[in-house]
Amino acid sequence: MGAVLLAAVPLPVAAEMAQAPKAAPKGLSAGGESFAPSNPNQLGLAEHLRRQGYMFYGAWWCPACTQQKALFGKQAAQRLPYQECEKDAAGQQRCTEAAIRVYPTWIKGGERRDGVLSLEELQRWSGYRPGGATPPGSNSAVTTP
């Protein structure tokens, strides 16, 4: 059974969605209470992304952002390097400065990836090796396709 991945949500559409709150995807809640427990790989990847300076930008009402968090499971989702863009002026300012156009967006240095990324995509991009040490500088040679 494959996972259904949601597309990135462009900000003009996002503004309309924010005004008309919708239910979270089936089996998930906006707060993550229904997320499955995280496994060691999910926890390790979340910590690795944080240590390496990756940032996940999203919005509380965004179904694609909820899907992205759900891929990590409950505990790892809480440890993600996450910037909420829609709840307060400070978050909105940080997202404006980062030129966020769609949710979710991942940024590391000058590289950005829009949309829901699989755990495998994040592992490749960041150079994370489940259960093993990450080679020094492994993410510095990765280029955006």
Domain ranges of the chain: 54-123
Provide the b/e sequence for 25-43 (b: ≥16 CB within 10 Å). beebebebeebeebeebbb
Place of tokens 């919708």: 22
Rounded-to-integer distance, Cα 60 and Cα 141, Å: 33
The DSSP secondary-structure symbol of 99 reads T
Please state the pTM of the whole predicted model.
0.72
Q: How many residues does the chain have?
A: 145
| DSSP secondary structure of 23-61 | PPSTT--TTSTTSPPPPHHHHHHHHHHHHHT-EEEE-TT
Tens place of pLDDT per residue across the chain (145 aa): 444 444 566 655 445 444 434 444 444 444 544 799 999 999 999 999 999 999 999 999 999 999 999 999 999 999 999 999 999 999 999 999 999 999 999 999 999 999 999 999 999 999 999 876 544 444 444 444 4
What is the CATH code of the structural domain delimited by 54-123?
A: 3.40.30.10
